[in-house]
């Protein structure tokens, strides 16, 4: 496997990294030469994802964390730092969805979606940003959704989390650009993953996880004097 020599010193964290979009992103960063730490809800899933990448010649570490819990995130970040060193790339990809009319959503469901999709990105960023400030460089990429711009029936919790994630990304970009840290948000349309069944849609017309990973790769390879703040990603043909 050929790698980018300039990326051999990069350490990347990908949340929700054991499958789907997250695993594709981790694979792409690993092929560039980065050492990758995968975060998943269970150790079994995280380790399975890491083994998959290691079989492809990618240096990978798989650890469990609940991104919505500050203590769990702190332990995860500390373990990655102790094992690999300062993180220079953070991809906040972990996400869940509950799709009911707003008046029918249970409080626990609402909390789960917002804690994972929005609070989790903030908690993980809060732990990693000091490492990037020390290095005077870094990339933080939030994986949002076109649902963060477009509403739909039953999408109250999910849309709220993704709209909020876009707001978080924009504010972080302003907070951190003076430290050489670039913050971007990626808003994909429908992606063919296990996340939801997408009943009635042609998977061959949907975005693939590798499409999102390609955008992340583009962002981290951007010339140092500029950054892309937001990317909307759509399939060529509507599913």
pLDDT above 60: residue 196: no
All residues at 6 or more sequence positions from 226 whose CB lies less than 8 Å from its CB, including other chains: none
Quick check: 113 pLDDT over 90?
yes
Max alpha carbon distance in the chain (Å)?
A: 53
Burial of 149 (0-12, 13-18, 19+ CB in 10 A): middle
Instruction: Detail the DSSP E strand segments found in 57-201.
Output: 60-64, 89-92, 138-143, 181-188
* Confidence at residue 195, expressed as pLDDT on a 0 to 100 scale: 59
Distance separating alpha carbons of residues 170 and 168, to the nearest angstrom: 6
Output the pTM of the full model.
0.94
Q: Mind listing the pLDDT tens digit for each residue in 12-45? A: 999 999 999 999 999 999 999 999 999 999 999 9
Residue 2: predicted pLDDT: 47
- For the stretch 38-61, pLDDT in tens is 999 999 999 999 999 999 999 999
Q: Could you tell me what percent of the chain has a pLDDT over 70?
A: 95
- Choosing from 158, 159, 160, 165, the catalytic residue is 158
Tell me what pLDDT residue 192 has.
75
Average pLDDT over residues 206-211: 92
Average pLDDT over residues 151-162: 96
| Average pLDDT score over the chain | 93
Region 195-212: what's the mean pLDDT? 76
Q: What is the dihedral of CA 76, 44, 214, 199, to 10 degrees?
A: -120
- Section 69-95 average pLDDT: 98
- Strand order through the sheet with 11-15: 60-64, 35-40, 11-15, 89-92, 138-143, 181-188, 230-233
117 is catalytic: no
Q: Which domains does the chain show, CATH number per domain?
A: 5-233 (3.40.50.720)
């Amino acid at each position: 496997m050929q790698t980018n020599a300039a990326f051999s010193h990069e350490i990347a964290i990908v949340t929700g990294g054991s499958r789907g979009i997250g695993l594709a992103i981790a694979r792409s960063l690993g092929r560039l030469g980065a050492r990758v730490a995968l975060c998943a809800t269970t150790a079994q899933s995280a380790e399975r994802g890491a083994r998959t990448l290691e079989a492809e010649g990618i240096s990978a570490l798989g650890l469990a964390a609940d991104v919505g819990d500050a203590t769990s995130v702190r332990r995860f970040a500390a373990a990655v730092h102790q094992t690999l060193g300062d993180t220079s790339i953070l991809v906040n990809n972990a996400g869940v969805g509950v799709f009911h009319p707003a008046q029918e959503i249970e409080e626990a469901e609402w909390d789960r979606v917002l804690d994972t999709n929005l609070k989790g990105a903030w908690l993980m960023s809060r732990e990693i940003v000091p490492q990037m400030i020390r290095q005077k460089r870094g990339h933080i990429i939030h994986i949002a959704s076109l649902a963060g711009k477009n509403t739909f029936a039953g999408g109250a919790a999910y849309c709220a989390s993704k709209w909020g994630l876009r707001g978080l990304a924009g504010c972080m970009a302003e907070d951190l650009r003076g430290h050489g840290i670039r913050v971007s948000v990626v808003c994909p349309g429908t992606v063919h993953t296990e996340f939801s069944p997408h009943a009635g849609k042609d998977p061959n017309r949907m975005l693939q996880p590798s499409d999102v990973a390609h955008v992340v790769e583009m962002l981290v390879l951007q010339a140092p004097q500029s950054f892309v703040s937001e990317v909307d990603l759509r399939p060529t043909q509507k599913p």
